[in-house]
């Protein structure tokens, strides 16, 4: 990305006596993972384009503790949560948007019990909001007519019943949306959830991401769209395993909209 991104931090905002309309929670993957960083930047490009007055926590952000919780380490999760909540509350944060469904679920559902009450939304919901309020316009030329299939992230779909926002946003690209046999409530996991991302799988006869990629390949897509950095990694690996990376791209909805 050649253009300069405008990414103010909460600390800078506060020094200027300003309060952003929304906090962008970048998350650990979005901050450090090479593939996920591209999604982060694509989303910032959208925020800049729509003139959204946002901020990030920057170096004051720490892991939500979500993955520790799913691994069974409730101590570590609550330590992380309490620390983050202290920072968020000090900045009087009201609204949070994130590209990571795991952070989204954790901040939205599990932080309130520990004193962190925010209006938390997923970036696909926020993009939909920006489009429907007229703040963001999508030309819809780049992906016109392309076959796109959307892989529902578990922590967005089943975990929080958000199925329509990502699909409604995808329709704005004028692409042809094709559904996998297993989608929405019956969508198959990519295999990364529940801390699996950070360990080798147990003994079996196949990797979950390969099975899910086979689901996607059945729809003969040109692009597999995701809404989660971990799903993105798993599906990208699956496409490589099937030696289809020359024909099929795995892209986050933010990247599709940023380029559309």
Partner 1 sequence: MEYLPNIIFAIILIAGIGYFANNVKKLIRNIKLGHKVDASDHKSERWKNVVNIALGQSKLVKRPVSGILHAIVYVGFVIINMEVLEIIIDGLFGTHRIGLSVLPESVYGFLIGAFEILAVLVLVSVTVFWIRRNVIKIKRFLSSEMKGWPKNDGNFILYFEVVLMCLFLVMNATDTTFQNLNSGNVISQFIAPWFSGFELETLHTIESVAWWLHIVGILIFLNYLYFSKHLHILLAFPNVYYGSVAPKGKFNNLEAVTAEVKLMMDPDADPYAAPPETAEDEVPAKFGASDVMDLTQVQLLNAYTCTECGRCTSSCPANLTGKKLSPRKIMMDTRDRLEEVGKNIDLNKGKFVDDGKQLLGDYITNEELWACTTCNACVEECPVSINPLSIIMEMRRYLVMEQSAAPMELNNMMTNIENNGAPWPYNQMDRLNWKDEN
Binding mask 209-248 for partner 1 (x = CB under 8 A): -xxx------------------------------------
The tokens for 103 are 């952070």
Q: What pairing do the DSSP bridges indicate for beta strands 176-177 and 223-226?
A: unpaired
Q: Do residues 23 and 93 lie in contact, with contact meaning Cβ atoms separated by under 8 Å?
A: yes
Output the smallest distance, CB 187 to partner 1, in A. 8
The tokens for 233 are 């990694």
Q: How long, in residues, is the chain?
A: 260
177 is a contact residue toward partner 1 (CB under 8 A): no
Residue 152 makes CB contacts below 8 A (sequence gap 6+) with 158, 163, 166, 183, 184, 187, 227
Output the smallest distance, CB 247 to partner 1, in A. 24
Q: Do residues 75 and 84 lie in contact, with contact meaning Cβ atoms separated by under 8 Å?
A: no
Q: Do residues 183 and 156 lie in contact, with contact meaning Cβ atoms separated by under 8 Å?
A: no
Output the smallest distance, CB 138 to partner 1, in A. 24
Q: Which is nearer to partner 1, 63 or 173 (CB)?
A: 63
Footprint on residues 8-27 left by partner 1 (CB under 8 A): 9, 26
First to last CA, the chain: 15
Footprint on residues 82-141 left by partner 1 (CB under 8 A): 82-83, 105, 108-110, 113-114
181 is a contact residue toward partner 1 (CB under 8 A): no
Binding mask 38-57 for partner 1 (x = CB under 8 A): --xx--------------x-
The tokens for 8 are 């103010």
Among 19, 48, 73, 142, binds partner 1 (CB under 8 A): 73
Q: Which is nearer to partner 1, 53 or 132 (CB)?
A: 53
Among 13-21, 91-99, 172-180, 195-203, which window interacts with partner 1 (CB under 8 A)?
195-203
Other C-beta atoms within 10 Å of 140: how many?
Answer: 14
The tokens for 51 are 């003139």
70 is a contact residue toward partner 1 (CB under 8 A): yes
The sign of the torsion formed by the CA atoms of 229, 234, 235, 236 equals positive
Q: How many whole angstroms separate alpha carbon 29 and alpha carbon 36? A: 6
Output the smallest distance, CB 212 to partner 1, in A. 8
Among 62, 117, 174, 219, binds partner 1 (CB under 8 A): 62
7 is a contact residue toward partner 1 (CB under 8 A): yes
Q: Which is nearer to partner 1, 33 or 168 (CB)?
A: 33
76 is a contact residue toward partner 1 (CB under 8 A): yes
């Amino acid at each position: 990305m050649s253009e300069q991104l405008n990414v103010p931090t909460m600390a800078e905002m506060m020094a200027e006596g300003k309060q952003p309309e929304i906090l962008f929670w970048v998350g650990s993957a979005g901050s450090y993972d090479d593939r996920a960083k591209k999604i982060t930047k694509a989303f910032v490009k959208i925020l800049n384009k729509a003139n959204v007055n946002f901020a990030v926590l920057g170096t004051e952000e720490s892991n939500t503790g979500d993955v520790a919780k799913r691994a069974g380490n409730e101590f570590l999760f609550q330590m992380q949560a309490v620390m983050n909540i202290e920072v968020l509350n000090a900045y009087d944060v009201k609204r949070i948007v994130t590209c990571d469904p795991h952070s989204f679920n954790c901040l939205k559902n599990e932080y309130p019990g520990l004193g962190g009450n925010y209006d938390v939304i997923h970036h696909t919901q926020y993009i939909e909001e920006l489009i429907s309020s007229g703040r963001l316009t999508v030309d819809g030329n780049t992906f016109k007519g392309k076959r796109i299939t959307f892989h529902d992230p578990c922590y967005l779909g089943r975990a929080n019943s958000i199925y329509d926002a990502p699909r409604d946003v995808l329709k704005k690209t004028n692409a042809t949306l094709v559904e996998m046999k297993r989608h929405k409530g019956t969508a198959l996991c990519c295999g990364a959830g529940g801390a699996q991302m950070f360990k080798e799988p147990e003994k079996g006869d196949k990797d979950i991401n390969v099975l899910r990629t086979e689901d996607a390949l059945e729809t003969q897509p040109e692009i597999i769209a995701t809404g989660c950095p971990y799903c993105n990694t798993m599906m990208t690996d699956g496409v490589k395993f099937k030696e289809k990376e020359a024909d099929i791209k795995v892209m986050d909805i933010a990247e599709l909209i940023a380029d559309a």
